[in-house]
Amino acid sequence: MASPDVDSALQASIDAVRSDVAALHGELVRYGLVVWTGGNVSGRVRREGDGADLFVIKPSGVGYDELTPENMILCDLDGNVVAGTPGSDRSPSSDTAAHAYVYRNMPEVGGVVHTHSDYAVAWAARGEEIPCVITAMADEFGGPIPVGPFAIIGDDSIGRGIVDTLRGHRSRAVLMRNHGPFTIGVNAKDAVKAAVMCEDAARTVHLARQGGEPAPIPQEAIDALYHRYQNVYGQNTDDRR
């Protein structure tokens, strides 16, 4: 894609998302959610009043300690690299088509994350949703973390599975079968938080099952916990918990 006409406000938004996305990849390493160069964070570019039909994503095959705002890649919502912009000489993440599909079809989403975190991948390998048996899951996801269909990397098949599974679902995480977790958020940081909490839930529920079947939480309690956390708890701060 040719470079779009960029005014100063749009350029400021692009620069801010580049910085955020580059830095947030460090959180994936910090929380042990990725190995080698696998996994990725992307963030939608917004400007006051509307979206810009652009997003920023990690380059393919670049080590986490080498990531900078300048080598993040700017793409349009069809997943095409915007020519002539910083990083455009590199190939974008192999998951770019999936991220682009999510942004095109879920306009409320401002960030997408994919990780290879151990426990969540283990649930995905079994094709089993993570049941909502701890209050932190009720708070964050409003119920179980669902399983999406098996899909091959490289086109928008994974994106279709993410959208079909999460549209109308409270969860901001999906376990793509035999692959691993993808999470969404209002921005890239929110999607990273969902990835961290997804792995925490996957690990905790796995450990609970080693001692027997976890006790279910009544649906009305899940609903109440989710409502409180999403609408009351920390409502005067940018970040919950």
First and final C-alpha spacing in the chain: 40
Which positions are catalytic?
139, 233
Q: Is 58 within 8 Å of 73 (Cβ atoms)?
A: yes
Give the three-class secondary structure for 93. coil
The neighbour count for residue 207, using CB atoms within 10 Å, is 11
Q: Is 56 within 8 Å of 25 (Cβ atoms)?
A: no
Spatial distance between the Cα atoms of 179 and 200, rounded to a whole number of angstroms? 18
Residues 6+ apart with CB under 8 A from 227: none
